[in-house]
Amino acid sequence: MKDLNYQLMKLCKANRDGSFSTQATRSRILDLIANQLHELGYRHMQAKSLKPKHIEALVAFWKDQRIGVGTFKNRLSALRWWASKVGKADIIARNNNAYRIGNRRYVGDESKARLLDEKQLEKVSDEHVRLSLRLQSSFGLRREEAIKFRPNYAIKDDHIKLKASWTKGGRARSVPIRTDEQRKLLEDVKKLARGGALIPPERNYVEQRNRYDRQVRTAGIKNPHGLRHAYAQRRYEELTGWKAPVAGGPASKSLTIEQRAFDEKARAVISRELGHDRTSITRIYLGK
């Protein structure tokens, strides 16, 4: 492990700000940033040697990579946290507009839904990873939720219950069990997990997450987050009777008053099931 990676890891362990999920995400981002600084030629850095030139180099590098606005903002947030913890909060702009990265868009122009391809899934050798992917597809779970999923806690009569420590933002929620296919999947998960999570006994969460990422890449499964988009669009059609706008359905402005009421209710349900606290976020998944 390089010096900077090690020091940032210690910095994270010494400062437990935010939920467990927030801490894990921050640690992962800072580890990535340390590796990228090394790639950019900044060798033998210390945590306290962070300078404006490093911020500028990273911002330029990320722009070249054409990463999403949300990812960009998350990385800048991690950098601000790092700078503040080493007494250098003033070396990074407080406003993201200073870096001209644009605004996150909350209306989907095209569908990002992805179906779980069985041929690709067969290339995933880790059964825990395969079932995590199936949970993402069947219940619209995030990656972390599908890896930390503990069937003995989560599976109820007619829904699954997600613990706050598994979820983004620490928001516990429930998702309905609607089909026999979902019930069969949950039975398979229960058999494999044996009272634990979808993490083999010899690994911790971070190790299993890294294995998940490697297996997904090897299998050629692109954007597994798109499984959530597919779930949202299926639920929308179930609840309204017509396809989501982003999947070829009618735009909201063309709906009748009665149809708009169905649309609004469906979006509220889907927002809760996906773990969001704003109905407006469904525009990303469903369009408008």
> Taken in order 35, 41, 45, 51, is the CA torsion positive or negative?
negative
Only one residue has tokens 């070249």, namely: 64
The span from the CA of 163 to the CA of 169, in Å, is 11
Beta bridge partners of 159: 176
Closest CA to 237 of 266, 264, 257: 266
pLDDT given at position 43: 87
Dump pLDDT digits (tens) for 127-181. Answer: 999 999 999 999 999 999 999 999 999 999 999 999 999 998 788 999 999 999 9
| Per-residue DSSP letter, 155 | B
173 pairs with which residues across the strands? 162
The confidence score (pLDDT) of residue 104 equals: 59
pLDDT for 73-100, tens place per residue? 999 999 999 999 999 999 999 888 888 8
Cβ contact 132:143 at 8 Å: yes
125 φ, ψ to 5°?
-80, -25
Q: What are phi and psi of 259, to 5 degrees?
A: -65, -35
> Per residue in 32-60, pLDDT tens?
999 999 888 898 899 999 999 999 999 98
- Could you give the CA distance from residue 242 to residue 136 in angstroms, rounded to a whole number? 23
Q: Answer yes or no: is pLDDT of 27 > 90.
A: yes
For 249-262, how does the pLDDT look when each residue is reduced to its tens digit (9 = 90+)? 999 889 999 999 99
Cβ–Cβ under 8 Å, residues 159 and 177: yes
Both tokens assigned to 242: 């017509």
**Is pLDDT above 90 for 102?**
no
pLDDT per position as a tens digit, 205-252: 989 999 999 999 999 998 899 999 999 999 999 999 999 999 999 998
Give the C-alpha separation, 5 to 259, whole Å: 53
- Both tokens assigned to 175: 């998702």
Per the document, the length of the chain is 288
Task: Say what angle helices 52-65 and 69-85 make with each other, to 10 degrees.
Answer: 160
Segments in the chain forming alpha helices (H)? 3-14, 20-39, 52-65, 69-85, 118-122, 127-139, 143-148, 151-154, 180-193, 205-219, 226-240, 257-274, 282-286
